[in-house]
Chain A
Amino acid sequence: MDKLFLLAMNGLIWGLIIALIALGLAIIFGLLDIINLAHGDFFMVGTVLAWATLQSTGSFWLAFIVAPLIGFILGALIQQIVIKPIRNVAMLSIVATFGLSLILQESVRITYGPTPGRILPPIQNTIHLFGVDYEVYRLFAAVVAILALGGFFLFLQHTKLGTWMRAVRHDREIAVAMGIPAGRVYMVTFAIGFALAALGGVVAAPITTVDFRGGVDILPFCFMAVIIGGLGNLPGTAAAAVLLAFLEGVIQSVADPTVARIASLVLMSAVLLLRPQGLFKGLTR
């Protein structure tokens, strides 16, 4: 029973973090029509930046600003240099992001090194919950994720840039005709996508490993959240991420973690084939 609680809680909190990362993927996929195979590596870069910030400044908290900022800049650069020029061969963008993924992984391997490392959580206490000593940092991570998610949705609804993003996603031609600078919107979207993933990386770093392959597992999970939640349905994506991670956590208490992963993948296939608009369409409009 304790184990179940632990895994369920961990799953829930992990889901909140993944929701953040998956939203980054969702806006890139939804707005720029790109299957970003490097998105897991954006997350991984976030974990590495957290480690680097800790090493150089001694403060982990600084990473919460540094990593998303660097992620934003990198994202903008990548969009301008690589993504924008290939708009006319859209189907091949997946190949370009695959190349990007290789470059990111290998670059980290060269600079950071091949051995996985750990970051100690900045808050080391545990709190007694439902008969288990639960890490306070995880609760803190959950709060940060929720705040970030909330902030992101507020940004989309209430800022000019956010409104532009929603307009371009809804109908690009009309948006351009109304004078919205679509090119700039694309750049910012990709940049925010990277930044969100990097932020997720910082939040997750103390509870996972810092490893150049750290993105490989995250990527399919993010895609699952986007597809099952429904393309273009951002709240749906966040909800799907939390739900999937929670379910996987629960299943892990009785079965092999890989079984949980296979079950999620099968669910994702079913959604793709039977209800491509996602499971949550119509529930959140």
Chain B
Amino acid sequence: MRLRTVAVLGLVAAATAAAVVRRRRRSGPPAPPAQLGRRDGAVQHLAADNRDLPALRARAEDLRAALETVL
């Protein structure tokens, strides 16, 4: 009985570990807070502490509100 319990717990632990590994592989690196792309292909990522980010987020929230308004 005790052996069966240990076996079940072992299987659960192995399945959980495998799921965590799969999730990490699938998710990849976290998305940057903001990304600015230029016509020549250059891409600029704004860091979380970038001083322009709050204003950009505020404008993006305004645009989101407008986009979510469906007439």
A binds B: no
Q: Which residues of B contact A (CB under 8 A)?
A: none
Interface residues of A (CB under 8 A from B): none
